[in-house]
Amino acid sequence: MTTTQHQQDRGDTVRRLHRVVQARPSRDGDGVLIQRIAGADLNADFDPFLLLDEIRSVEGADYVGGFPPHPHRGFETVTYMLHGTMRHTDHLGNTGLLTDGGLQWMTAGRGVIHSEMPQQTDGLLHGFQLWLNLPAADKMIPARYADYPATALPQVEVPGGSVKLLLGQWQDLRSPVATGATAPLYLDLALQPGAALDVPLAPAQQAALYVYDGASDELASRQLGFYTGGSLLRVRAGPAGLRALLLAGTPLREPVYQHGPFVMNSPREIEQAIADYRAGRLTD
């Protein structure tokens, strides 16, 4: 009996695609060329996630300026590097070098000031940054930081491809990254032409799929799809195969107020974050 047949026998239902968003070119940091995949305009569908960006270029001029020191408050960042090197430094004295296949987890909490600078001037730089919202009760927790090399992140072969586990749990594998109440699942999928994969999801979770190479039977490259209803997200690769990020998490259903690098639950809290930063109190 195949996995799909077994799941159907259990009464699992396949989620349906209900919204498609095209990534759009943008600039961030010191002129870095990025693809803005999801931002504040998608909060309702993307909750508990806030933002997803892709950086991908072989031209050093597109990324060499990097992201000089800048503040954050109220959420967490997950940076995943497919190719290239990026150095992190922050006000706590943390330093880390992201390399091929590695992941960085940072909890901004009450406040962090950090920089993310490419450690190369030419060649392919390809990675993603995901912002994960914090519950209101955790917005002001102390900042934390951790690096995970590629060798620390589980990868499993599946029929017609492979799954790399970045956050959460997949089958009997668990990511080394400690996560909180939103129970995020973050997978990097590689599927051969025509191959299909069923990913079980809790009914309460929201789910999205971003195709960054190839295509699925529903999404073209650089499209983000949101899926609703059902206990399985079925991914089927197109004729050229597929590389994609699958994201799922338990929505917070809390008010979201964002002003640049600050994400809080009310305008007053945003005003306080700005005042704290200007007064040098953000990280106190």
pLDDT digits over 202-223, tens only? 999 999 999 999 999 999 999 9
Q: What pLDDT is stored for residue 178 in this prediction?
A: 86
Q: What is the pLDDT of residues 99-110, one digit of tens each?
A: 999 999 999 999
Strand order in the sheet with 75-83: 24-28, 32-38, 49-57, 125-133, 75-83, 103-107, 144-148
245, β-bridge pairs:
188, 210
Q: What is the pLDDT of residues 226-272, one digit of tens each?
A: 999 999 999 999 999 999 999 999 999 999 999 999 999 999 999 99
pLDDT class for 10, splitting at 50, 70, 90? low
DSSP 14: B
DSSP 42: G
Domains of the chain, residue spans: 3-278
Per DSSP, the residues of 163-207 read EEEEESEETTEE-SS---TT--EEEEEEE-TT-EEEEE--TT-EE
Q: Which of 39-48, 121-130, 147-156 has the lowest mean pLDDT?
A: 39-48
Distances (CA, A) of 94 to 4, 21, 88, 281: 45, 35, 8, 19
Q: What pLDDT is stored for residue 9 in this prediction?
A: 42
| Residue appearing with tokens 């939103």 | 182
Q: What pLDDT is stored for residue 26 in this prediction?
A: 95
Per DSSP, the residues of 85-153 read -EEEEETTS-EEEE-TT-EEEEE-TT-EEEEEEES-SSS-EEEEEEEEEPPGGGTTSPPEEEEE-GGGS
Q: What pLDDT is stored for residue 3 in this prediction?
A: 46
Q: How would you classify the pairing of strands 49-57 and 125-133?
A: antiparallel
CA distance linking residue 76 with residue 146, whole number of Å:
12
Nearest-5° Cα angle at 12, 10 to 16 = 165
pTM (2 d.p.): 0.94
Q: How would you classify the pairing of strands 125-133 and 75-83?
A: antiparallel
CB 186 within 8 A of CB 166: yes
Q: What is the pLDDT of residues 82-93, one digit of tens each?
A: 999 999 999 999
Q: What pLDDT is stored for residue 108 in this prediction?
A: 97
Token pair, residue 40, equals 């504040």
The architecture that CATH gives domain 3-278 is: Sandwich (2.60)
